[in-house]
Amino acid sequence: MPMFLVGAELWRFRALIQALVQRHIATRYRGSLLGFLWSFLNPLCLMGVYTLVFSYYMRFDGGKHYHLLVFAGLLPWIWTSSALSEGTSALVSSGHLITKSMFPAHILPFVSVTSAMIHFVLALPMLIIFMLAAGMAIPATWFLVPVFILLQFIILNGAVLALSALNVFYRDVQHLVGNMLTFLFFLCPVVYPASAVPARFRFLLDANPFAVLTECYQKILIDGVVPGGLAFVSLILVAALSMGIGLCVHSYFRERFAEAL
């Protein structure tokens, strides 16, 4: 399926996408007392736990503002983790919509990625508050945030297009993704600075697009440093490759979704 057709269909069904995103966000915390506040509390709790364990229990020297480094890494990671886990099962969990309604199936994983992105964007002001409270200035490099949001958005959409299609026919995929996310988390410099990785293992970070994304976010959000050109180029290539593979896999299986679901 050509990319421009996907874009045209997403635009055509924009009202439905908006309604599904609103429903997705509303149902996520339905029945909880704090509701949408959990979008802010979840990364805060994780930051508190990792800061306690690594800064005080293990006495890991992550720098003066280690908690901010962790928080800046956790936000894009939570977006990645939520989008991949929920997007992978999006077609299976909403199979009744595909079999009874006439709309493109790729809308459903797109909704999962978009909903997780909204939580990410809404949590960014908390990082600003923490930085100001710590006496830090907001770096001018924050203007690059939309660029990396766009790259991460494309990468995740390509990945969930392929994974959600495969999961319709091979339900092991959702379990495999869940386990891989745990492994992938520790391969990304979320709870440790990338500079702490020994030089002989540095290639593992460079070969991992989510590790590159994490390091780029930490540079522009905390350090005020513009990532190198190699990081930009590699992420653009990964985004193009991810979307290409995602569209090919999804197109190959899409005619059989209704039968399998």
Confidence of residue 196 (pLDDT cuts 50, 70, 90): confident
Question: Residue range 43-57: average pLDDT?
Answer: 76
pTM score: 0.88
Mean pLDDT of 196-212: 89
**Quick check: 91 pLDDT over 90?**
no
pLDDT computed for residue 61 by the predictor: 67
In this prediction, residue 133 carries a pLDDT of: 87
Between 97 and 24, the higher pLDDT residue: 24
* Choice among 37-41, 157-161, 204-208 with the minimum mean pLDDT: 37-41
- What confidence score (pLDDT) does residue 94 get? 77
At residue 22, what is the residue type? Q
Per-residue pLDDT, 258: 75
What per-residue confidence (pLDDT) applies to 81? 93
| pLDDT on residue 44 | 77
Q: Rounded mean pLDDT of the chain?
A: 86
**Rounded mean pLDDT of 95-121?**
82
pLDDT at 59: 67
pLDDT at residue 6 tops 80: no
Residue 114 vs residue 64, higher pLDDT: 114
pLDDT at 219: 93
On the question of pLDDT at 83 being above 80, the answer is yes
pLDDT of res. 209: 93
The whole-number pLDDT of residue 54 equals 72
Higher pLDDT, 233 or 254: 233
Distance of alpha carbon 218 from alpha carbon 71, whole angstroms: 9
Percent of the chain with pLDDT over 90: 39
pLDDT for position 245? 94
